[in-house]
Structure 1
Amino acid sequence: MAESKKCRQYSVEYLKLGFLPSKADKRLPTCLCNKVLSNDSMKPLKLEDHLRRCHPDNIGKDLKYFQILKEKYEKRPTMHSMFSSTSESNDDGLRASYNISLFIAKSGKPHTIGEPLILPAVEEVLKTVLYKSSFDIL
């Protein structure tokens, strides 16, 4: 009969040692240095060992110190948050650029016609319809 391994769960007590639950798997500990440890490392002695070896300056710090680090860790910008906010704001411009390129391609004219023809036409629309100069948009 196969022996089942004990799967430890993350405990809030681990924050005293500088560990948060992993975003990918809440059962695994993530060090504030962004290193995710295995479930086997969930033993408090192994967590203390990681703290002693990798972060000797944090030994003996109180819970409040690690709570502040946790807040900073959770509020830090991530690649996902930076790219998702950028891509949301650029979707309309990207769509317009694609549509203009499509019009040029369908016309059979060289792609270089966009600058001398399309850009002045767009500036004219902005000026007459929206009462804005192209510098106001940029």
Structure 2
Amino acid sequence: MTDAMSESNKKCRQYSVDYLKFGFIPSLPDKQVLGNDAMKPSKLQDHLRRCHPDKTEKDLKYFQTLKDKFQKRPTLDRMFAKK
């Protein structure tokens, strides 16, 4: 019973557009999926500082451009989609 209760009480962080200022959309910039606990803004900022120190001074526009390029990249679904 306690396992079921702890499962239902877990907070599942939803993606927020505010995460973009930390250089994060799912799988960006290092194409890594982060866990629920790592989605806290303080941990995202720490990840950016530790893993991508060259990008800490980039502005929001840089990350928006990176996001747009990532979303427009060719995928198998798009390559084989009927036109």
Q: TM-score, normalised by structure 2?
A: 0.78
Q: 1:5 aligns with which of 7, 10, 14?
A: 10
Q: Which residue of 2 aligns with 1:30?
A: 27
1:42 paired with 2:39, answer: yes
Relative CO higher for 1 or 2, CA cutoff 8 Å, sep ≥ 6? 2
Q: Pick the structure with more strand per residue.
A: 1
Q: SS of 1:32's equivalent? A: coil
Q: Displacement, 1:14?
A: 0.3
Identity %: 60
Q: Pick the structure with more helix per residue.
A: 1
| Structure label with greater radius of gyration | 1
**Number of corresponding residues:** 78
CA RMSD of aligned residues (A): 1.9
Question: C-alpha separation between the residues in 1 aligned to 2:28 and 2:69?
Answer: 13
Q: Displacement, 1:69?
A: 0.7
Q: SS of 2:27's equivalent? A: strand
Question: C-alpha separation between the residues in 2 aligned to 1:59 and 1:41?
Answer: 17
Q: 1:14 aligns with which of 6, 11, 19?
A: 19
AA paired with 1:38? G
For the 8 Å contact 2:23–2:29, the answer to whether it is kept is: yes
